[in-house]
Amino acid sequence: MKNKTENASLGLKVYLFRKKLKNVLQSAFLFCIIAGLCFTILYPIVQLVPTIFSNIEDLGNPNVIWLPLEFSVTSFRAAIRFSMPEGIMTMIKSILYAGLIMSIQVFFSAMAGYSLARVKFLGHRLVFFLVILVFLVPRQSLLLAQYIYYSHFNAFGLLKLFTAAGEINLINKPITLIMLAVLGFGVQQSLFVFIFSQFFKNIPNELEEAALIDGCGFHKTYLKIMVPNAVPAISTVAVLSFVWNYGDTYFTSYFNKDGPYLSSTLARVFSAANKDFVLNAIKVWFNVPLATDFAFDAVKQAAVLIFLIPLLVVYFGAQKWLVENLENSGLVG
């Protein structure tokens, strides 16, 4: 009897030891994975410190590894002059533009998604297929047709009543980007329609039936019942739309290249063909006799950090809220 008790106690200790060892190994494995991912993400950012905070003349010095020899914000001063010719208003205009397009995309994508999810009209499956097709087809394949359409815009022939030519050129005008968003061809807008459609499909039919019994029509049901319940999808689409439109250089460069968009300005100023101009400007502005390619990279990286400020504010301000709403929006899971 005593031997059986000792064997049972020994077996229990072995089991607990194995379980504890398994948990320790799993924790160590997860720690290594997380540490590796953090290192991969943070290492390039840490490397920026000795670059963007160094004196222009110290760039390329092999003695500078992690800390600059002489702390300087010249790279940021140059980046501000290059990327924001109107000062802080350049960034404000970019934020307002992204906010305007975001509002339009949320408004029209929500209505389109609700119609595809809850209204059984003739050809609704074909329309849903076309929405997915637009998302899958590279947007470069649609560029030529869109460019020709807006460069010879005639509004289905109605402009013949108001203009002698019967058409107007909308290229390099901000109204073109607004029209793209209204017509459902904005930045990743087909994805937004899909998100709303999947979300509205998961809402119980009983809500609509109860609203109908209470006397709500189609539009009132949508505004009073569906929209308040679609806050997770609305917030998800709003954040994604703002981030993508704020950083867009594709539509802005083709349809309104002279617009006050910070992303387009950075792409234009810090292109490889403009390197000599940037370096010469640094020499003149800050009295730097020797400005090499390292200086060009430092100013460019500083400009990117300035560009990211609004996105970082959005991320840190809505991180937890966004993750929770992503799970409820139908985008993940």
pLDDT tens digits for 192-249? 999 999 888 888 888 877 888 877 777 888 888 888 888 888 888 888 899 899 988 8
Long-range contacts formed by 199-205: CB under 8 A, 24+ apart: 199/113, 199/117, 199/230, 199/232, 199/233, 199/329, 199/330, 200/113, 200/114, 200/117, 200/118, 200/226, 200/230, 200/233, 201/117, 201/118, 201/330, 202/330, 203/229
Residue 11 has pLDDT above 70, yes or no: no
> Which tens digits make up the pLDDT trace of 158-174?
666 677 667 788 888 88
Nearest to 236 by CA among 192, 180, 190: 192
Average pLDDT (95-122) is: 89
Q: Is the pLDDT of residue 10 over 70?
A: no
* Amino acid sitting at position 101: I
Both structure tokens of 224? 């009073």
The reported pTM is: 0.79
State the average pLDDT over residues 165-192. Answer: 86
What is the per-residue pLDDT for 322?
A: 65
| Whether the Cβ atoms of residue 133 and residue 185 lie closer than 8 Å to each other | no
CA nearest 326: which of 209, 195, 148? 195
